[in-house]
């Protein structure tokens, strides 16, 4: 599904030049759950922006579903973001005075999905994300942090993306609620075969993934299967 070949990203020029990525290569298969972990300034956020088609590399190639994303125009990148990638962010990024159902349908509205399909598809995504139906007409500012993040997960699912990219998705949650959210990702990966890429600085959070890529100073230090994977599905 994903193949990165010698990705480099440089910001600035001359004495102000900063190499955020220094030649990163790896691949991710369809249906994998991968955590990319590194300290602040390691290059993991830059890598996520490239994988999420929010930025382009200075050099190297990035293939998504066999398509060379690194050569696409801005309009083509926007189309890929809309149709191929679902995002879940630390800050949730929901409209606070809007109902759960409306928040989840909005990406489909922007993508031109017929009106008759909006609520059925949103309902299916909310069920997959594990949010009780009695919360669907609540406004997002009436929900707990864990419930809000599950709404964000549902929103990321509605356009049937090839991959979900979660950027520090438990960063604003307490540990118990964070485990419930991570368990939701595990269940989506196991039961629905959704490809998950989790960006984190926290080794404990990374333990929910089946594979961990360690990045530091713009380089991959280690890429390994997680033999001690923590199963959180039963926590739901």
List, in order of start, the domains of the chain with CATH numbers. Answer: 29-42+85-235 (3.40.50.300)
Mean pLDDT, residues 26-33 taken together? 96
pLDDT (tens digit per residue) in 125-149? 999 998 999 999 999 889 999 999 9
Question: Does the pLDDT at position 101 exceed 90?
Answer: yes
Question: Does the pLDDT at position 35 exceed 80?
Answer: yes
Which residue shows structure tokens 């102000």?
16
Mean pLDDT, rounded, of the chain: 92
pLDDT (tens digit per residue) in 206-235? 999 999 999 999 999 999 999 999 999 854
Proportion of the chain above pLDDT 90, given as a percent: 73
pLDDT (tens digit per residue) in 56-88? 999 999 999 999 998 888 899 888 998 899 999
pTM: 0.90
Question: Does the pLDDT at position 193 exceed 50?
Answer: yes
- The pLDDT value given to residue 234: 59
The 10 Å Cβ neighbour count of residue 226 is: 16
- The pLDDT value given to residue 166: 95
CA angle 164, 166, 172 (to 5 degrees): 150
- The pLDDT value given to residue 104: 96
Cβ atoms of 199 and 167 closer than 8 Å: yes
Question: pLDDT tier at 236 (50, 70, 90 boundaries)?
Answer: very low
- The pLDDT value given to residue 119: 95
């Amino acid at each position: 599904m994903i193949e990165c070949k010698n990705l480099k990203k440089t910001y600035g020029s001359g004495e102000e030049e900063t190499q955020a990525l220094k030649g990163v290569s790896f691949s991710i298969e369809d249906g994998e759950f991968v955590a990319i972990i590194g300290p602040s300034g390691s290059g993991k956020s830059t890598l996520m922006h490239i994988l999420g088609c929010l930025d382009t590399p200075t050099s190297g190639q990035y293939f998504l579903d066999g398509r060379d994303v690194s050569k696409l125009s801005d309009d083509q990148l926007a189309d890929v973001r809309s149709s191929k990638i679902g995002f879940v962010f630390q800050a949730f990024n929901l409209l606070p005075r809007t109902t759960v159902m409306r928040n989840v349908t909005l990406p489909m509205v922007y993508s031109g999905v017929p009106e008759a399909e909006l609520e059925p598809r949103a309902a299916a995504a909310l069920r997959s994300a594990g949010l009780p139906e009695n919360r669907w007409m609540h406004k997002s500012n009436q929900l707990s942090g864990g419930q809000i993040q599950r709404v964000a997960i549902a929103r990321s699912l509605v356009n049937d993306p090839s991959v979900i990219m979660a950027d520090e998705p438990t960063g604003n949650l307490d540990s118990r609620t964070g485990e419930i959210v991570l368990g939701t990702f595990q269940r989506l990966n196991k039961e629905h075969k959704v490809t998950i890429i989790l960006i984190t600085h926290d080794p404990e959070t990374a333990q929910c993934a089946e594979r961990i890529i360690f990045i530091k100073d713009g380089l991959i230090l280690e890429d390994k299967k997680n033999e001690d994977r923590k199963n959180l599905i039963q926590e739901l």
